[in-house]
Chains A and B, each alone.
Chain A
């Protein structure tokens, strides 16, 4: 009876996960979808605690279980509530790493059970294989997510050395080799090999993310997210637990597709990202030495005039907007210009910021209406009819080198063709290159004017200027 109820709990859990993801795909139902998935999760967790039994034996150690859940809930709830919108990407990366760590720890404990229960030569091959898969994927995801987290909040710098790609591939081969050896030829050394695999997987996770920078970070987080999904599914295999299996595979499949969509947006192959070549070894090269000419600055009052008398203005937000927390000021500027009869829209590059949709979340926080956010293709069609493009802290996503310079590391990435517009005003803090570390020819074009300063401050001053006109 109780086991049947547990089965029902898991069934409800699986259905809510699918339903939740589906509802998340529509802005009108998204929030409800998230809550439904959360409710399903609670049912599945409570069911496991009170109804699960193995060989007729119920679970024990309730004190430890509830203690752990209480600690995790308090920390998770507080950090999720407190985190600033700009720090959202690294928070997701952090939570993702926690899931990976969980899968890793489960594998360690289960392997330990196994070597105590069976003599080395009789280890059940299938179970060992699943445990190893969970261990490797979980620990790569954990270590990688932690590095991604550190990179996004600036604690970890990009780091690479010559031959890193080959080093990474060899490392991966060694891990796979050891795993095959452990499964195929189990010996009394099983324990040592197991921990060697654990250590190497953690190392691989670190070196996997270390050299990757700039525009690739969103792809990496999404990929690690799907890794953790697969690691969770391994747990489902191990315990013959359907809700873990469905939830894990669902996220693994969805995450992989999302990753590939992002790769496509940047015109790069997944293998290329996996080996970790971007931003590493190939430094920007001679692009910086090229004759750049000079750039011209524009004053706040001139910007105010140009924008007020334009009929159509596009705003291109980037990471600089997020750093300066300028989304509210940005929305205010938009309302002010709209009141003057200017048509204001936002052009959103798929990888602007540090995460896909990063800009959308920020602007949504400032109450910018959903219809005003145009995706890259739509925006590119509109730029020729646009009077002023205001770029707020975006750089690589508007760099024409992606189209014209085959030696540039971002060559081939689709960009926002802001140069088609009549005027371009670029707000940046300085002339320093963007996250990918390459010069941007756009800034030196005759159409372009530079407006230096912190995005929030500049926008507030600009609003004041426009009001005074």
Chain B
């Protein structure tokens, strides 16, 4: 019990962020008209590509003789970039079409 309580105290900042972000995520999406669902899903998909930062950290601190970290980190950077770049470009293409007919 003490363990759990002290864990909460130590990590309270993160716990606050998680809880507040859950509400923000729900609020933000709650007003989306259903016609924008696909672009929104695609945009959210691009945003979770932020996981690439983890991949960069893994790659950047891999020792030069740790082949597992080097190889897996390298693949992780590639697939993470795919997620980010592909996600944003696809979303932009979808939204481009929405914009055109706005005139």
Enumerate chain A interface residues (CB-CB to B < 8 A).
13, 17-18, 20-22, 24-25, 27-28, 30-31, 33-35, 37-38, 41, 44-45, 48-49, 52, 54, 57-62, 64-65, 67-69, 71-73, 75-77, 79-81, 83, 88-89, 91-92, 94-96, 98-99, 101-103, 105-106, 108-110, 112-113, 126, 221-222, 225, 228-229, 231-233, 235-255, 257-258, 348, 350, 355-358, 360-361, 364-365, 367-370, 373, 375
Contact = CB atoms under 8 A, between A and B. Distances in A.
Contact of A250 (B21, B53, B89, B91): B21
Q: Specify the main secondary structure of chain B where it touches its partner.
A: helix
Given A48-B56, A360-B34, A361-B38, 19 more contacts: A24-B39, A41-B46, A49-B60, A64-B74, A88-B38, A99-B48, A108-B68, A113-B69, A229-B44, A229-B47, A231-B51, A245-B18, A249-B22, A250-B28, A253-B24, A254-B29, A356-B37, A365-B97, A368-B101
A247 B48 contact: yes
A21 B73 contact: no
Nearest to B79: A98
B85 A59 contact: no
B43 to A, nearest CB: 5
Nearest to A60: B60
15 contacts: A28-B102, A62-B60, A76-B85, A83-B90, A96-B83, A102-B51, A102-B52, A229-B44, A229-B48, A248-B51, A251-B48, A258-B41, A258-B44, A350-B34, A370-B102
Contacts of B26: 253-254, 257
Q: Pick the 4 closest A-B CB pairs, nearest first.
A: A72-B81, A59-B60, A253-B25, A68-B77
Nearest to A113: B69
A21 B17 CA distance: 17
Interface in B29-75: 29-62, 64, 68-70, 72-75
Contacts, number: 373
A369 B88 contact: no
B80 A37 contact: no
Interface of B: 7, 14, 17-18, 21-26, 28-62, 64, 68-70, 72-102
B86 to A, nearest CB: 4
Contacts of A44: 50, 53
Contact of B25 (A35, A69, A249): A249
Nearest to A230: B48
A399 to B, nearest CB: 20
Contacts of B58: 105-106, 109-110
A251 B40 CA distance: 10
A187 to B, nearest CB: 21
A109 B80 contact: no
Contact of A27 (B36, B90, B92): B36
A305 B40 CA distance: 40
Given A77-B85, A88-B94, A102-B76, A61 B32 contact: no
